[in-house]
Structure 1
């Protein structure tokens, strides 16, 4: 049996913060139980545990090979050396988007946006709906099922609506003053298959959504910050103020319920950048518990 290849391809599984064991397989007397979870930063944490007692009894003392993990955007290869002292393998897998594939030419696209010297093939019409279940994103509220509908660029944004109207039938439209990765990140949140914000991307998304007047993206980010974020309350308050997220602003001020929290906010860098109106709301809140 020495040198004989053992191959196994698992099924496709959805990973969220509640998943544990995804699959248990037996192949050539080797049992492998593997599972994974996804954290709030869209990083998947996988674990593979092997049991090969039957083969060890036949004199096999090690296996070498690799495990390949992939999703729609990325592929990761993990080298594995299996011995009696090394039966568990752990890996992290980040869900990066391949924007070149996401915005590649297709018969559904009718416009090319040229950003930072690179081309994004998009659809400017409002005729097609993209539906998704928010549970595919949050997975943190399993009893909540919300359906949201997104239409394409000219529906989402006054900026794009005016831009496409002014350009008429021009096929290539330059977008100046932004980086390709930042602009593609903005588009990917609603077109063509929604990719949702993480704590690592919210600031860039907020800046881009504000610049290009995409209110739907700001609403999605507000939900993320209110329910799934680990960003500090001081920074969250500043973002709620700057990018006009009223529900988040109300939550941040409501949670400002001790003098210690008030002092921490006053000493933060974010406090000086708050608007006068928000500072007044903070003061009113402090007066409630003095």
Structure 2
């Protein structure tokens, strides 16, 4: 699954017979070392190289970057060159040979790279996590699969489950609970309730619970939107708080979508950061032209406008 593109534009630097390393720059978890030099004295062939260190993104679940690099002149001495890239290894090197007619050029480059996250397997340890145990006293049935859970733990985290497990539960989201008999060590039978949960896949629901269950699975850019949707449905504020922390500190999702999520799912710290980030006319135009802008609440639009008025 892909996230928003990471973009960067370098400053203008001179490349000649005497240059090699031109720039080292870190941007949104990607460190790029850019070098350029003429292949040999009295030759018009320039050898450009970009080495990408993106280990920080790998730690967040990214398994490849795709996009393009463009190298340009500040005048028309050679046509801008664009290289389509697919980066799958850390410290992978991209090269491009360019021919000109002079021995020195003022050049700059820019890239647009989209992180792609590894697909999440359907059951990453869920069998063990939701297996029968002395601590689990209730069964949730999702997609005909049974998740053994602790009623008190879920009730503590979620008003939805607190109501579901109450004796006077009457909402239509689940059928009346069934009871399943099980043996305990003293050979006495006890009854374990089963609660069907509708309109959600096992994979998504198990991922939601595992986000705040013991030994939690941390959210990634690939999972945050689905988790936010389910956290709101099942009224689990702790999951929204966990995701807000991720979006504040680790996410590479573009600012327009992040602003929309902050507004839609009521994450005040994230909303404040996004509004502060609207500090140029270009960013304001990009937000206005994005599909997320129309989905913003009137309150968020007013905050964005107020920020721009104060800035300019």
With structure 1 as the length reference, what TM-score do the two structures score? 0.59
1:41 paired to 2:60? yes
Question: Secondary structure of 2:151's match?
Answer: coil
Distance in 1 separating the partners of 2:230 and 2:280: 34
1:235 paired to 2:296? no
1:177 paired to 2:199? yes
Residue 288 of structure 2 corresponds to which residue in structure 1?
A: 266
Once superposed, which parts of structure 1, at least 4 consecutive aligned residues long, lie more than 4 Å away? 92-96, 167-170
Contact conserved, 2:157 with 2:238, CA < 8 A, in 1? yes
Gaps of 5+ in 1: 1-16, 18-35, 46-91, 126-151
Question: Secondary structure of 1:119's match?
Answer: strand
Give the number of the structure whose alpha-carbon radius of gyration is greater: 2
Q: 1:276 aligns with which of 293, 298, 301?
A: 298
> Counting strand residues as a fraction of each chain, which structure ranks higher?
2
1:104 paired to 2:104? no
1:122 paired to 2:123? no
Question: Secondary structure of 1:165's match?
Answer: coil
**More displaced stretch, 256-265 vs 108-117:** 108-117
Structure with greater contact order relative to length (CA < 8 Å, sep ≥ 6): 2
Q: 1:200 aligns with which of 197, 219, 222?
A: 222
Gaps of 5+ in 2: 1-28, 30-54, 65-116, 170-176, 178-190
Contact conserved, 1:43 with 1:94, CA < 8 A, in 2? no
Shift of 1:39: 2.6
Contact conserved, 1:113 with 1:173, CA < 8 A, in 2? yes
**More displaced stretch, 95-104 vs 152-161:** 95-104
Distance in 1 separating the partners of 2:233 and 2:62: 28
Contact conserved, 1:225 with 1:248, CA < 8 A, in 2? yes
- C-alpha RMSD of the superposition: 2.4
Distance in 2 separating the partners of 1:248 and 1:40: 22
Contact conserved, 2:137 with 2:192, CA < 8 A, in 1? no
Shift of 1:170: 5.7
Shift of 1:179: 1.1
Contact conserved, 1:118 with 1:180, CA < 8 A, in 2? yes
Distance in 2 separating the partners of 1:222 and 1:264: 23
Equivalenced residue count is: 184
Alpha-carbon displacement from aligned partner over 1:154-186 (angstroms, at most 9, x marks no partner): 100000111111369761001111111111011
Distance in 2 separating the partners of 1:201 and 1:43: 12
